[in-house]
Amino acid sequence: MCLGLRHMSKEASVRRQVRGGRGAAALCAAILLGQPASAGSCAALRDFIAGPAIAVLSGATCRDALTETGAGGFCQWGYAYRSEAARAGFARQVAKLTECFPDAAPQPSPHRVNHPDTHDVRLFDLGDTRITISLKDKARLGKSFVFMQVAPAWLKAH
């Protein structure tokens, strides 16, 4: 199975599995396995995010995130510390989301952090949904991470 879906709402997190047909496989490949975005994959991504929802993607570790502001979720990909592959993975995700959502130009995060060695974040505001892509190098762990978070808009107000 290429992906599962976690539909996030204020009231609950409901899990359901999506059996990977051609559309799901194309979305998984086009969005997160390095393929260029196409009109079809962008349309599928728009439909997929409209939930609002987060993908549980092959090769990623995905979790629910519960905070004082409510429920959300994220996926992470680990890389060798400060590797070119980590920087390329981050750049690829930013480019794909920029291509798929041209009206939601990526914005740098207004929040500063001091815990990772390096930290680069791009925010995509899609109206009712917010997508955050971040690259974090963590010397203590000896790893770099690319994170993707998809959250309903009500989270961004807090």
Q: Over the Cα atoms of the chain, what is R_g? A: 15
Q: Is 98 helix (H, G, I), strand (E, B) or coil?
A: helix
Q: Write out pLDDT tens, residues 37-78.
A: 666 667 656 655 554 444 445 466 766 666 555 555 677 889
114-149 per-residue burial string, b: 16 or more CB within 10 A, e: under 16: eebeebbbbbbbbeebbbbbbbbbbeeeebbbbbbb
- pLDDT tens by residue, 100-154: 888 887 777 666 656 656 678 998 888 777 888 899 999 889 999 998 887 776 6
Residues 104 and 46 sit within 8 Å (Cβ to Cβ): no
Task: Please state whether the predicted TM-score (pTM) of the whole model is above 0.85.
Answer: no
**Cβ–Cβ < 8 Å for 77, 145:** yes
